[in-house]
Amino acid sequence: MKKTAVLVAGSWGTALASVLADNGHEVVLWTRHPEQVHEINALHTNSRYLKDAVLSGNIHATLSLEEAVRGAAAVVLAAPSSGMREVAGNMQPFLSPHTLVIHAAKGFEADSLKRMTSVIAEELPQQNPDRIVVLSGPSHAEEVIVKCPTTIVVAAKQLEAAEAAQDLFMSPYFRVYTNPDVVGVEVSGALKNIIALGAGMSDGLQFGDNAKAALMTRGLAEIARLGVALEANPLTFAGLSGFGDLVVTCTSRHSRNWRAGYMLGQGKPLAVVLEEMGMVVEGVKTTRAAYEMSKHHQVRMPITQVLYQVLFEGKEPKRGVEDLMGRVRTHEIEEIAQEAAGKWLG
Ligand X SMILES: NC(=O)C1=CN([C@@H]2O[C@H](COP(=O)(O)OP(=O)(O)OC[C@H]3O[C@@H](n4cnc5c(N)ncnc54)[C@H](O)[C@@H]3O)[C@@H](O)[C@H]2O)C=CC1
Ligand Y SMILES: O=C(CO)COP(=O)(O)O
Q: Which parts of 65-124 interact with ligand Y (CB under 6 A)?
A: 106
CB-based burial label for 128 (10 Å; 0-12, 13-18, 19+): middle
CB 76 within 8 A of CB 102: yes
Alpha-carbon span 80 to 263, nearest angstrom = 22
Q: Which range touches ligand Y (CB under 6 A), out of 174-182, 208-216, 225-233, 253-261?
A: 253-261
Alpha-carbon Rg for the chain, nearest whole angstrom, is: 20
Q: By rule CB under 6 A, what count of residues binds ligand Y?
A: 14
With CB under 5 to 8 Å by kind, the binding choice for 86 among ligand X, ligand Y, none is: ligand X
Tell me if residue 157 is catalytic.
no
Q: Would the CA dihedral through 122, 125, 129, 133 be positive or negative?
A: negative
Q: Which range touches ligand Y (CB under 6 A), out of 68-76, 113-121, 135-143, 270-278?
A: 135-143
| Sole binder of ligand X in the list 106, 192, 225, 259 (CB under 6 A) | 106
Q: Which range touches ligand Y (CB under 6 A), out of 69-77, 118-126, 229-237, 245-253?
A: 245-253
Shortest distance, position 335 Cβ to ligand X, whole Å: 32
Give the residue closest to ligand X by C-beta: 10
Angle CA(132)–CA(133)–CA(136) in degrees, nearest 5? 150
3-state helix, strand, coil in the chain (%, to 5): 55, 10, 30
Largest CA distance in the chain: 61
Shortest distance, position 241 Cβ to ligand Y, whole Å: 9
CB-based burial label for 42 (10 Å; 0-12, 13-18, 19+): exposed
With CB under 5 to 8 Å by kind, the binding choice for 49 among ligand Y, ligand X, none is: ligand X
Site for ligand Y contains 138 (CB under 6 A): yes
Alpha-carbon span 54 to 40, nearest angstrom = 9
Shortest distance, position 122 Cβ to ligand X, whole Å: 16
With CB under 5 to 8 Å by kind, the binding choice for 249 among ligand Y, ligand X, none is: ligand Y
Angle CA(85)–CA(92)–CA(78) in degrees, nearest 5? 50
> Catalytic residue among 192, 268, 295, 343, which?
192
Alpha-carbon span 295 to 43, nearest angstrom = 49
Nearer to ligand Y, 250 or 340 (CB): 250
Nearer to ligand Y, 166 or 249 (CB): 249
Site for ligand X contains 49 (CB under 6 A): yes
Site for ligand X contains 200 (CB under 6 A): no
Site string for ligand Y, 177-216 (x = CB under 6 A): ----------------x--x--------------------
Site for ligand Y contains 257 (CB under 6 A): yes
Residues contacting 252, CB < 8 A, separation 6+:
140, 258
CB 56 within 8 A of CB 16: no
Task: Tell me the catalytic residues.
Answer: 192
Can you give the binding site for ligand Y, defined by CB under 6 A?
106, 138-140, 193, 196, 245, 248-249, 254-257, 282
